A and B are shown apart, each in its own frame.
Chain A
Amino acid sequence: MSGARPTLRQYIGQLWSRRHFITTFATAKLTAQYSQAKLGQIWQIMTPLLNAIVYFFIFGVLLGTKKGVPDYVPFLVTGVFIWTYTSSSVTAGTRAISGNQGLVRALHFPRASLPLSLVLQQLQQLFFSMCALVVILVAFGQYPRFHWALAIPALICQSLFCAGISLIMARLGAKTPDIAQLMPFILRVWMYTSGVMWSVEKLAGSHEGIPSWVVMALRCQPAAVYIDMMRYALIDSFHANQLPPHVWALCLGWGLLFFAGGFVYFWRAEESYGRG
């Protein structure tokens, strides 16, 4: 019989044997992105830098959200880059199947390759952003130190989370393409509540009447946790007491929960992708 779903164990095996396709596809997508531009791959690092400048101008200079946040530029830029990784994983995941119908209809391969590959592409992009970030950090007096190594486990946990949520969105987006239209709005709300440009704690402190459990929930949700972890790792003036309690457990927990859950959720519809 053609087209039945493999068991979960078989499926993982198939994915493993396609690992080279997954990595090559990610790199190919990344390279193709700027191949028409005259400056070419320089845009990989220019785009995040320009983004950071725009956000700094709006939130730092015009709106003055920097009040009370020491080292505001590193704080903001770290937030923007880490948030971009999460949000672009969600966006890419949503279109992973629905945007690659041709590929899905023409070839046999474990479909999870697509969302995973696209998240890998975002991770590669983040790598370029991080290079830009190091430059900015040094320019604003944050010199490399051993503490920076904490960024690595934080990034691994975030990558698990991003892969998981991308798998979930891929299944949802494959079934209901309309979700792609809705995502920008959801992501914008998510961004503003994740403390990308300001400190959620400080903001809540200046508004009376926000229950403390709401503030706690906002600080413990995955996007905020990963942003604050990275700030804690890279910025001197961002201290451990600004992190929510049990932050490493949250970091790893969100990652594992979403990755395992997302993987199984995606696999359960494996045979239905590409059959509109």
Chain B
Amino acid sequence: MAEERIPTVVADGVHITYRVHGAKGGKGSATSALSRIVSRRPAVGVREVHAVRGVSFASYRGEAIGLIGSNGSGKSTLLRAVAGLQVPSAGRIYTAGQPSLLGVNAALMADLTGERNVVLGGLAMGMSRREVKDVYEDIVDFSGINEKGDFISLPMRTYSSGMGARLRFSIAAAKKHDVLLIDEALSTGDAKFQARSKERIGQLREQAGTVFLVSHSNKAIVETCDRALWLEAGTLRMDGPAAEVVAAYEEFTAKPKPKPKAAARK
């Protein structure tokens, strides 16, 4: 097996730092801002956040990789860097094909009907008008939006959060992806839909290659992924088979402050 593994994403010592404006440590009043301008003290409002610290990994075709870790551990940032939407401040990311973030939500508008959002989302992902037309029925059927009546012709703001999430995932999954990056898409939606999306992720893996999945549901990771990366405070803590990594992570989260004895059970 090791012979014909084709790498899709290679991350080499990746560091990512954000610059955040308006994150002042001191007083944020207008007078203090004015006094800063007058006294020409340099950029107090800018703070750097070191979100990812030296992460290296390689992913191969046909893999589904789960990313786990507590809130703010740098998972989403890392995904954005893989998608090429964030430049690493140090290190490099090499990709085969175009990784795409399952992030159509940003293109959708709550005031428009589901129908128009399907078209808009498809076009935003780079489909042609014809391609959108071809997959339109599939998207609507897959989302199951119309199972309880004609909801697709209602504005999206009238949808429940689960319905919205289902439609978003359905739109995003309608396109063929080389490397698909999914950030917390499956946490909403009922059991039936979760099963269906799991199946869809499987299909996407067969078609194209690699699927990355960020989720706080350990169960979803174990069931959909064969490998997992565990990020903690921006560093890669563990990389291995999904079940093992999740088990270690669960043990870690069970104890709020990891004492040395936490590593004992192995």
Q: Which residues of A contact B (CB under 8 A)?
A: 1-3, 17-18, 20-21, 24-25, 28-29, 31-32, 35-36, 100, 102-109, 177, 271, 274-276
**How close is B167's CB to chain A, nearest CB, in angstroms?**
15
Interface presence of B111 (CB below 8 A): yes
Docked CA distance A36–B109 (Å) = 13
* Residue in contact with B124 in the complex, picked from A17, A109, A274, A275, CB distance below 8 Å: A109
Chain A residues lying within 8 Å of B123, measured Cβ to Cβ, are 18, 20-21, 24-25
Cβ A107 vs Cβ B106 within 8 A: yes
Known pairs A2-B93, A24-B120, A107-B104; A274 contacts B85 (CB<8 A): yes
Cβ B111 vs Cβ A36 within 8 A: yes
Known pairs A32-B112, A103-B124; A24 contacts B84 (CB<8 A): no
Cβ A105 vs Cβ B106 within 8 A: yes
Chain A residue at minimal CB-CB distance from B18: A276
Chain B residue at minimal CB-CB distance from A2: B84
Chain A residues lying within 8 Å of B94, measured Cβ to Cβ, are 1
Docked CA distance A105–B181 (Å) = 13
Q: What's the count of A-B pairs with C-beta under 8 Å?
A: 93
**How close is A114's CB to chain B, nearest CB, in angstroms?**
11
Known pairs A20-B129, A103-B106, A109-B124; A275 contacts B155 (CB<8 A): no
Cβ A107 vs Cβ B124 within 8 A: yes
* One of B57-65, B95-103, B242-250 contacting the partner: B95-103
Known pairs A31-B112, A275-B85, A276-B21; A2 contacts B126 (CB<8 A): no
Chain B residue at minimal CB-CB distance from A22: B123
Most buried by B among A103, A106, A276: A106
**How close is B172's CB to chain A, nearest CB, in angstroms?**
10
* Residue in contact with B85 in the complex, picked from A31, A35, A105, CB distance below 8 Å: A105
Cβ A106 vs Cβ B112 within 8 A: no
Chain B residue at minimal CB-CB distance from A18: B126
Chain A residues lying within 8 Å of B68, measured Cβ to Cβ, are none
Chain B residue at minimal CB-CB distance from A177: B21
Is chain A's interface secondary structure helix, strand, loop, or mixed overall?
A: helix
Chain A residues lying within 8 Å of B85, measured Cβ to Cβ, are 3, 104-106, 108, 274-275
Docked CA distance A20–B85 (Å) = 23
Cβ B21 vs Cβ A109 within 8 A: no
Docked CA distance A18–B80 (Å) = 22
Docked CA distance A106–B19 (Å) = 19
**How close is A251's CB to chain B, nearest CB, in angstroms?**
33
Docked CA distance A134–B103 (Å) = 43
Cβ A108 vs Cβ B126 within 8 A: yes
Known pairs A18-B126, A105-B106, A108-B84; A28 contacts B100 (CB<8 A): no
11 residue pairs from A and B, CB less than 8 Å apart: A2-B81, A3-B84, A3-B85, A25-B107, A25-B120, A25-B123, A31-B112, A31-B116, A36-B111, A102-B105, A107-B107
Chain A residue at minimal CB-CB distance from B130: A20
Chain A residues lying within 8 Å of B78, measured Cβ to Cβ, are none
Cβ B87 vs Cβ A3 within 8 A: yes
- Encode B61-85 as 1/0 by CB contact (under 8 A) with A: 0000000000000000000111111
Cβ A24 vs Cβ B119 within 8 A: yes
Cβ A35 vs Cβ B155 within 8 A: yes
Chain A residue at minimal CB-CB distance from B105: A106
Docked CA distance A7–B126 (Å) = 19
Chain B residues lying within 8 Å of A21, measured Cβ to Cβ, are 120, 123-124, 126
Chain B residue at minimal CB-CB distance from A33: B111
Contacts A102-B106, A107-B101, A108-B85 given; 8 further ones with Cβ under 8 A?
A25-B123, A28-B109, A36-B111, A105-B86, A106-B85, A106-B105, A106-B107, A275-B87
